[in-house]
Amino acid sequence: MKRLLGISYLFWVLIPVGLGYNRAPPQPGPEVAEKAGSPWSLETYRYDTYHRMEEIYQWMSQISEKYKDVVTQHLLGMTYEAQPMYYLKISQPSNNTKKIIWMDCGIHAREWIAPAFCQWFVKENRLWRKSRSSHDNGTCFGTDLNRNFDVQWCSIGASKNCQDLTFCGTGPVSEPETKAVSSFIESKKEDILCFLTIHSHGQLILTPYGYTKNKSSNHEELIQVGQKAANALKAKHGTNYKVGSNATSGSSRDWAQDIGIRFSYTFELRDTGTHGFVLPEDQIEPTCEETMEAVLSILDDVYEKQWPSNAAAKVTSTAVVLSLLMSFVSLL
Ligand SMILES: *[C@@H]1O[C@H](CO)[C@@H](O)[C@H](O)[C@H]1NC(C)=O
Ligand SMILES: *[C@@H]1O[C@H](CO)[C@@H](O)[C@H](O)[C@H]1NC(C)=O
Ligand SMILES: *[C@@H]1O[C@H](CO)[C@@H](O)[C@H](O)[C@H]1NC(C)=O
Ligand SMILES: *[C@@H]1O[C@H](CO)[C@@H](O)[C@H](O)[C@H]1NC(C)=O
Ligand SMILES: [Zn+2]
């Protein structure tokens, strides 16, 4: 857990809600209708229901406003319907060069559980950060958490932080979303260590390749890391996942692998077809919980493979780790 937001990693989490949510808005559940009159609030935001596009946009800007030292919102590009696509950058303030973990959730708009998971993931990071700042006194990673580091909020085109992204704004009309994502990733590929693309459904952790039966150069490694993730996932709620490649069609993970990103996976979340794309809301929480375990397992492995010598050194203080774990658990 402690590796999540260390100096070594930062996260880019793309929740492209503009993609079709407006065309197929989830029906508000009874509790949403109930709350209709009450003001929107980050504190009461529910992570166990599906939200409409506007609500997810609002969530993204509120969470990056409230935790602006760690979470910033950036424009990736526009959808063909001229909806902005944002990604969240999650990072501890530090001048160290960091490797990047990419995760996109909801490239396919009908897969509602995918953006729900990304929101869950960001929420969990927030908890982690909270417990970290109150317990380890900022010593763990050599940065002082309490200093008032002024991270720019990057509203559309307004921040200099975003200058390198503006090329995405006026993409060609055909599949601008894919182009925005791919040119963005391509421009940073040297720094991207892990590429996770979250979809539903099928309960699969897919490795490259999908476009050929050929195996990727690090196939065994990918399978081993993926299988460990599936085991961690199953340990949570007993859900069975299959791990492997399936030469049925090419996808972004293939492309990510081919441009040199060492760890590239597609997650197909619950279920195996009973409900399909419209996974019942009472499965959001367990699905997110178990997926979190799988993603953390991958991140741990990626970390250890990338920085083998650091992995041991990182466990500097058992007390710190324990207090982190304890506070994390108590906050859940
Ligand atoms: C990063 O470097 C700049 C310029 O040296 C400095 O002003 C800033 O405080 C540093 N930030 C952190 C988090 O160390
Ligand atoms: C936390 O940091 C402050 C300021 O550097 C220091 O005075 C204090 O002793 C530290 N506390 C712990 C538990 O390390
Ligand atoms: C699969 O591997 C074979 C043998 O190395 C190679 O000739 C072929 O081009 C590869 N196919 C694809 C689609 O990469
Ligand atoms: C591969 O994909 C096909 C078609 O979608 C499916 O029938 C098959 O079960 C998949 N195999 C694995 C191992 O997931
Ligand atoms: Zn999909």
Ligand positioned closest to the Cα atom of 249: 4
How confident is residue 164, by pLDDT bands cut at 50, 70 and 90? very low
Q: Residue 52 C-alpha to ligand 5 middle, in angstroms? A: 18
Q: Between the ranges 42-46, 264-268, 322-326, where is the mean pLDDT highest?
A: 264-268
Q: Residue 70 C-alpha to ligand 1 middle, in angstroms? A: 15
Counting every residue written for the chain, the total comes to: 332
Strand (E) or helix (H) holding 21:
none
Among protein residues, the one with the nearest Cα to ligand 4's atom 14 is 246
Ligand positioned closest to the Cα atom of 197: 5
How confident is residue 27, by pLDDT bands cut at 50, 70 and 90? low
Q: Is the per-residue pLDDT at 195 higher than 80? A: yes
Mutation test of ligand 1: which of 95, 98, 145, 151 has the most ligand atoms closer than 8 Å to its C-beta? 95
Among protein residues, the one with the nearest Cα to ligand 1's atom 12 is 94
Q: Hey, CA dihedral for 276, 204, 184, 153, is it positive or negative?
A: positive
What pLDDT is stored for residue 2 in this prediction? Answer: 44
pLDDT digits (tens, 9 = 90+) for 230-278: 999 999 999 999 999 987 767 788 888 888 999 999 999 999 999 988 8
246 lines ligand 4 (CB under 6 A): yes
* 115 token code pair: 């953006």
Q: Is the per-residue pLDDT at 320 higher than 70? A: no
Q: What is the DSSP string of 114-148?
A: HHHHHHHHHHHHHHHHHHHHHHSTT-TTSS-TTS-
CA distances from 135 to 33, 131, 132, 323 (A): 39, 6, 5, 7
**Section 149-169 average pLDDT:** 24
Q: What is the DSSP string of 35-46?
A: GGGSPP-STT--
What pLDDT is stored for residue 176 in this prediction? Answer: 65
Say which residue the tokens 């250890």 belong to: 304
In a 10 Å sphere around its CB, with 0-12 CB exposed, 13-18 middle and 19+ buried, how is residue 327 labelled? middle
149 lines ligand 1 (CB under 6 A): yes
**Section 217-240 average pLDDT:** 97
65 catalytic? Reply is no
| Other beta carbons within 10 Å of 215 | 14
Range in 47-51, 263-267, 283-287 the model is least confident about: 47-51
- What is the greatest pairwise CA distance in the chain? 56
Catalytic site residue from 268, 281, 289, 293: 268
Say which residue the tokens 């996808």 belong to: 251
Range in 2-11, 280-289, 319-328 the model is least confident about: 319-328
Among protein residues, the one with the nearest Cα to ligand 3's atom 9 is 214
pTM of the model as a whole: 0.76
Q: Residue 247 C-alpha to ligand 4 middle, in angstroms? A: 8
Among protein residues, the one with the nearest Cα to ligand 4's atom 9 is 246
